Amino acid sequence: MADAVRARLAELRRDLHRHPEPGWCEFRTTARLVEELRAVGVDELAVGADAYDPADRMAVPSDDRLDEWYERALDRGTDPELLEPLRGGTTGCVAVLDRGEGPTVGLRVDIDGLFIEESDDAGHDPAAEGFRSETGETMHACGHDTHMTWGLATLEAVKESDFSGRLAVFFQPAEEVSGGGAPMAKSEYAAGIDYFFAVHVGLDHPTGEVVAGIEKPLAMCHIDAEIEGTTAHAGKAPEAGANAIHALGTAIESVYGIPRHSDGMTRVNVGRVEGGTASNVIADEVEAVAEARGETTELMEYAKSELRRRFEKAAELHGCEATVDVVSESPRADSDPELVEAVADAAETVESVDRVVQTADFGASEDATFLMERVQRDGGLACYSIVGTDHPTSHHTATFDVDERSLETGVDVLTRSILSVAGFESAPTVGARANR
């Protein structure tokens, strides 16, 4: 790892791509990041529980899953000393450069993978070129391997520059389950940030295109629901049971009938159900996984409360009882126009950028909004940008991939954006947001 990160962007991204880990199980990933950050040399490196309060985590998986992925990391030859602080699912880290007087700047990149088995088709470049996921069940199908590479290389580039101020780079776990943004936003490292950047690759924007700032990310929540009834013989005494599957069917139909709202767009979905034992047994227990989204945080709260109410009332109608838990959630937060302008100006100076789009609707959800909301509430400016890439298929598919030309583009856009707010005359004014 003596070579500069910038000199081996593709190599690093491919190494991270081979070892995707799900939310709060990014053990090997975090250890790899720590190795790289130590080689770059930072002024402060907070790992795991030193980066946030573990009690603030959301959507933490079972102990069995955490133990399984911890052992996998050990089996892959990960340094046990690097893994020990991560035991129990305290993954991720925050790296800090402290360069004297100047603004405090934050950059957030996410680090988790998805439960998708990656394609082994010969036409899929990671399979053809030998860097397909080695886990057999998870994949970097949303570009987080690229995001981590950007974070490391940008940190290195800023360190080698004349940057004056403080830069904190958040390597955030558990984005895909909206679990890691909140604890990092509540941490001491999110305090006093003047300018905050978050970034995503692709999202149907081609290589060479940059969206300076996104608008209208959807507020969202993940929900686990359980309905408990009473078992009975389905032939001999069906009337003696309280059918949890019947109650779930009523709940699902009712959830999709939640009225849309005059204030804006809402979304609901029941994505997975499980329950029952046999055809001749009245089911006494079923589980469902659902979500609610809204164009604003208030609209998400409306959809969430209606979803909860309809599960509970459907269960009551059939003599059952429902337990509805919010596993994780994230608010809406929009990019600040002043910082969008700074990113757009910086992107215009990058040779590999062909087109700069000022703003675009996001249309999905992101828990980086917790950090954006914290910064904006404290009087700073926040921006979420997109660096385009030609991806052969959509995000969250088994054949997703990135155009590796976008690796260098992303580093250049982020580095120049950070340097611009740290000292150039075109830097936006934080005070402009102080009285909003």
Q: Give binding residues for Mn(2+) as ranges.
A: 142, 144, 176, 200, 396
Q: Residues annotated in the binding site, as ranges?
A: 142, 144, 176, 200, 396
Q: Answer whether 183's CB lies under 8 Å from 93's CB.
A: no
Instruction: Look at residues 76, 107, 82, 69 and name the one whose alpha carbon lies nearest to residue 30.
Output: 82
